[in-house]
A and B are shown apart, each in its own frame.
Chain A
Amino acid sequence: MAPLLQLKHVVKRFGGLLATNDVSFDVEEGEVVFIIGPNGAGKTTLFNLISGYVTADSGEILYRGHNIVGLKPYQTTRLGIGRTFQIVKPLPSLTVRENVMLGSFLHAHSRAEAGRKADEVLAFLGLDKRADQLASGLPLAQRKMLEVARALATGAKLLLLDEVMAGLNPTESAEVVTLLRKLKDFGVTAVGGVEHIMRVVMALASRVVVMDQGGKLAEGSPQAVVHDPRVVEAYLGSKYQKGGAPT
């Protein structure tokens, strides 16, 4: 079977800046893949390319075998690609349930059906107690969960999670990890973006793609990637490359 998502030699330029430089990788169904890289490595651009917020200059992005380059974001959503944003953007004047309903309306025939689907997702993510609260009153960790809930409610099969861990304390990130593990049971493949190879990524990811300055630096299991000298160099500088201490 073809991979759920395939990137083939994807290139994106912003003026003189090569934001995505010939990036290729696959995501199989049911996987949890993490894209890691320092600030400015091109992770968000990659998510924007897949979800259609920016269009690739060259290369192919195949979703279920179909090239989706050139599709608008609302079209990729309808195909089953959900996403969250680095900066969480709930609708503050609506309740938590209503925010999730925005997603479930997509495949619901009535308001009631959308409400039921929203409740299902909220229960799955453990947000059901907050359903009738205004979204503006949620703490950051739960606002991030709300973003995930809204994306799941659209019936997404591939979930792109931009900077899911940013701004969360260790307890909160552990909660997020538990939750992302459950996504597989929901029939959802997840691609997450994070800045650092954290304990949580090591525990969770089936595969890690390392980005640096727009290009793919390395790819493999979390274990293999942290020992890759190129990765160590990108993160810590060449002094650390051979395990020597800085002078």
Chain B
Amino acid sequence: MSRSGLVSSAIFFGLLLSLPLWLKDAYLQQIVFRIVIFAILGMAWNLVGGYAGQLSLGHVAYFGIGAYSVALFHEAFDWNPWLGTLAGVVLACLAALLIGSLTFRLRGPYFVLSTIAAAEILRLLALNLSFTHGAIGMIAPGFFEEPNGDRKTYYAALPLLGVAFALTAWTHRSRFGYYLRAIRENEDTAMAVGINPAVEKLKALLFSAALVAAAGALYAGVFQFIGPDSVLAIDLSVQMALIAMLGGAATVWGPIVGAVVLTVAAEGLKAYLERAHLFFYGLLLVVVVLFLPGGLVSIVKQRWFRRTAARAQAA
């Protein structure tokens, strides 16, 4: 990572670490926590949807697996949520292997539809199986005892954000990241330089699913109540994609910017939108794809390019 990249990430994480000290309002703290979770989800999606260009709209499957693992293993074996999280990550990776090896055979809209189908199958299972208690949902254990449970959970989420961020920064510069971009542009060309697209895509999905499952487990621990409509709904899949694309797909900072903008906008519009939020997301997705394919980050990047170009010309 460049020096300016290191400095900005140090400032960013410094701000987040010190946040509970200067932001006392409980409502605002909760919004920041949501932003952190959404940023993790956006970055995780970005690996598969951004760098590898595989537009999955079924990522909620891994979120649900993470969340339900915490609740299910607690209810069945009295496991603490940390063990439940670990189990969730492992199960999500297994699911990713299965779902990935089936859906990655398909290209374009067929791939997108198959990812939605995979997530819907899980949602219907959760809705209809007896041990998941169907639509009633499940109680999940909290990660920390009160008092200050929320703040502790916030600090538990930051390392996960750090992992997602580091993984993205590494991907951006590494052979793996270049291979994913090559696959995104053209699989035939990718194979001509010795890349096995199936293997690289599966790798990206495994990283992605593990992160999303951990975030799902965290969500379950914080809200302590989960159901098919909260942790396996397609809305969340769309949000993950939207966050990454709004901020800037295949960029390091894009999902973070996207998470901030989308969370704040959704919060501000909540009173007016009610059940129309899916329409709003859909509209936003169309607008971004049509008018800002590089995402919000690209606006800054273009200005920076223009400035350096002007400077180079002046010199």
Contact = CB atoms under 8 A, between A and B. Distances in A.
B181 A74 contact: no
B135 to A, nearest CB: 45
Query: Which one of A77, A82, A154 has the highest number of Cβ atoms from chain B below 10 Å of its Cβ?
Result: A77
Interface stretch (A4-12, A103-111, A200-208, A209-217): A103-111
Interface string B212-233: 0000000000000000000000
Interface stretch (A34-42, A57-65, A89-97): A89-97
Contact of A102 (B173, B182, B188): B182
Contacts of A78: 194
Interface residues of A, number: 29
B174 A85 contact: no
Interface string B162-193: 00000000000111001101100110111111
B175 A94 contact: no
A101 B178 contact: yes
A106 B194 contact: yes
A72 interface: yes
Contacts of A51: 192
Interface string A54-86: 000000000000000000111001100011110
Nearest to B184: A91
B186 A102 contact: no
A111 B173 contact: yes
B191 A74 contact: yes
A151 B186 CA distance: 15
Which size class do B's interface residues fall under? 10 to 19
A150 interface: yes
A114 interface: yes
Contact of B196 (A72, A83, A91, A150): A72
B181 A83 contact: no
A30 to B, nearest CB: 23
Nearest to A151: B192
Nearest to A105: B175
Contact of A89 (B174, B178, B185, B196): B185
A119 interface: no
User: Chain B's interface: helix, strand, loop or mixed, by majority?
Assistant: helix
Query: Which one of A72, A78, A92, A105 has the highest number of Cβ atoms from chain B below 10 Å of its Cβ?
Result: A105
Nearest to B200: A74
B194 A74 contact: yes
A84 B193 CA distance: 10
Given A74-B195, A103-B193, A114-B175, A94 B188 contact: no
A161 to B, nearest CB: 12
Given A89-B185, A91-B181, A93-B181, A102 B191 contact: no
B174 A111 contact: yes
A143 to B, nearest CB: 12
Interface in A121-164: 150-151, 153-154
Contacts of A84: 192
Given A72-B191, A74-B191, A89-B189, A102 B196 contact: no
B181 A154 contact: no
Interface string B111-134: 000000000000000000000000
A98 interface: yes
A73 B188 contact: yes
A83 B191 CA distance: 10
Given A74-B196, A78-B194, A91-B181, A85 B189 contact: yes
Interface of A: 51, 53, 72-74, 77-78, 82-85, 89, 91-94, 98, 101-103, 105-106, 108, 111, 114, 150-151, 153-154
8 contacts: A53-B188, A73-B192, A91-B189, A94-B178, A94-B181, A111-B175, A151-B192, A151-B193
The 3 nearest A-B residue pairs measured at CB = A73-B191, A77-B194, A106-B194
Given A51-B192, A85-B192, A98-B178, 12 more contacts: A72-B191, A84-B192, A85-B189, A91-B181, A91-B186, A92-B185, A102-B179, A105-B175, A105-B193, A111-B173, A153-B193, A154-B193
